[in-house]
Amino acid sequence: MNASLSAPGLRPVSPSSAHPFIGRILEHPTSTARGGVPGILLVQGKPGALPPGFRAYLLEEASSDVGVSDAYVLPPGFHPLAEGDVVRVEPSNRRLSVLYRRASPSNSLLVTERCDNYCLMCSQPPRKQDDSWLLDELLELIPLISPETRELGITGGEPGLLGEGLLRLVDRLKTHLPETAVHLLSNGRRFSREDFAQGLGRLRHPDLMVGVPLYSDLPEEHDHVVQARGAYDETLRGILNLKRAGVRVELRVVIHALTSERLPELARFIARNLLFVDHVALMGLELMGFAKTNLPKLWVDPLDYQEPLRASVRILDRAGVSTSLYNHPLCVLPADLHAFARKSISDWKNVYFRECEGCSLREACGGFFASSALKRSRGIAAVPP
């Protein structure tokens, strides 16, 4: 979930529930609920008498006499809601959070904020508290999600820490959303247990990919980046076990000052030893969380790693490994790499800057993370037609 889609300032205007609850937004009193759960009616404009039978009511404008329970005025300036979105209402601390946006191509299910790595550039630094309630909420959420959703991410923290709970989650996705591709981001370490990897494989999800970060061909360098001794061995065993269990695996390499120089060696290592992976994503840095804190240690201008990047893509491509470049504006890439660049930044954090005005590549270019306002390449410049 995007933190900016969670806001305080929800104002009850009728008796409210004691506990948090989730529900699917309905824009019309005649809309039907999903998953056997009454929906939450979104009331636009001045509310008249509200129809009974909904779990709650979210009002754009205040009213003193609504005649139903759980009616709330939306927090000021809240992101627009629409039919089919799913929200969490927390009456006691007056917070509203959007858990799923039907119109967005980039919905993710955050399953835990705990992690057994402590990566130097983690965009969502781990927290230690017990957040096992998140799994229960997600199991409740999945039946409310629209079945035409093309893709959902599973993210953390480290989802593998959920153990059997993660398998339950994937199983529920398969049951309720069989047409939806699932991309699970994991450091892969828990899958070093063969039975766990086999358990995931046995679910036979029709469209599941596990994205696993690998930062170096050298164990000590990978372990340094993820700040966990022994992580490299477990991650590699996890990758092997997942593939043995028939699960598709994508390798993800975040490029920064500590990983850019040996990128070609890593590409060679993948081409020789992990040729069976399904995809490799070479990714630009998102300046959030620890990446922001460690910026002086991590920052390297993409212009300055063009050559190792080009060499790595060539090695992987020649070996027949499907390869993509994520989070790289086109103007900082050599032209021969443009075909590998993807529009990879989630819609809610994707921006273009003033330099992009009039750029002939604007349509094809994936632009920036909003956090790139902090620092960006000296090579950003509109490409003339």
Look up tokens 């079945």; give the residue: 147
Cα separation of 182 and 151, whole Å? 6
CB of 359 to ligand SF4, least distance (A): 3
Say which residues have a Cβ less than 8 Å from residue 30's Cβ, sequence separation at least 6.
none
Measured CA to CA, the distance from residue 223 to residue 238 in angstroms comes to 15
Alpha carbon of residue 311 to chain centroid: 29
Could you give the C-alpha distances from 361 to 303, 313, 323, 350, 380, in angstroms and in order?
18, 21, 21, 16, 12
Distance in Å, CB of 333 to ligand SF4, minimum: 9
Question: What is the smallest separation between the CB atom of 38 and ligand SF4, expressed in angstroms?
Answer: 45
Starting at the earlier edge strand, list the strands of the sheet with 21-26: 6-8, 95-100, 86-90, 21-26, 40-43, 56-59, 71-73, 11-12
CB 380 within 8 A of CB 332: yes
Closer Cβ to ligand SF4, 185 or 341, answer by number: 341
Q: Which is nearer to ligand SF4, 1 or 365 (CB)?
A: 365
Q: How far is the CB of 325 from ligand SF4 (least distance, A)?
A: 13
Least distance from C-beta 215 to ligand SF4, angstroms?
25
Nearer CB in complex with ligand SF4: 269/352 = 352
Instruction: Give the residue with the Cβ less far from ligand SF4, 54 or 369.
Output: 369
Shortest Cβ 124–ligand SF4 spacing (Å):
24
* Closest to ligand SF4 by CB, 256 or 328: 328
Q: CA 116, CA 114: separation in Å to the nearest integer?
A: 7
Instruction: Quote the least distance from Cβ 326 to ligand SF4, whole Å.
Output: 14
Contacting residues toward ligand SF4, per CB under 6 A? 329-331, 352, 355-356, 359, 361-362, 365, 367, 380-383
Q: Can you tell me the distance from the alpha carbon of 143 to that of 37, in angstroms, rounded to the nearest whole number?
A: 9
CB nearer to ligand SF4: give 270 or 333.
Answer: 333
Taking the least distance from each CB to ligand SF4, the nearer of 287 and 321 is 287
Q: Where are the alpha helices (DSSP H) in the chain?
A: 133-141, 164-176, 194-202, 219-226, 231-244, 263-273, 289-293, 295-298, 306-318
Work out how close the CB of 252 gets to ligand SF4 at its nearest, in angstroms, rounded to a whole number. Answer: 22
Q: Cβ closer to ligand SF4: 296 or 385? A: 385
Instruction: Number of helices (H) and strands (E) in the chain: give both, helices first.
Output: 9, 17
Report which of 202, 379, 194 is spatially closest to residue 305, judged by C-alpha positions. Answer: 379
* Closest distance of CB 368 from ligand SF4, Å: 7
Give the DSSP per-residue string, 149-217.
Answer: --EEEEESS-GGGGTHHHHHHHHHHHHH-TTSEEEEE--SGGGGSHHHHHHHHHT--TTEEEEEE---S
| Residue number, 49 or 339, with CB nearest to ligand SF4 | 339
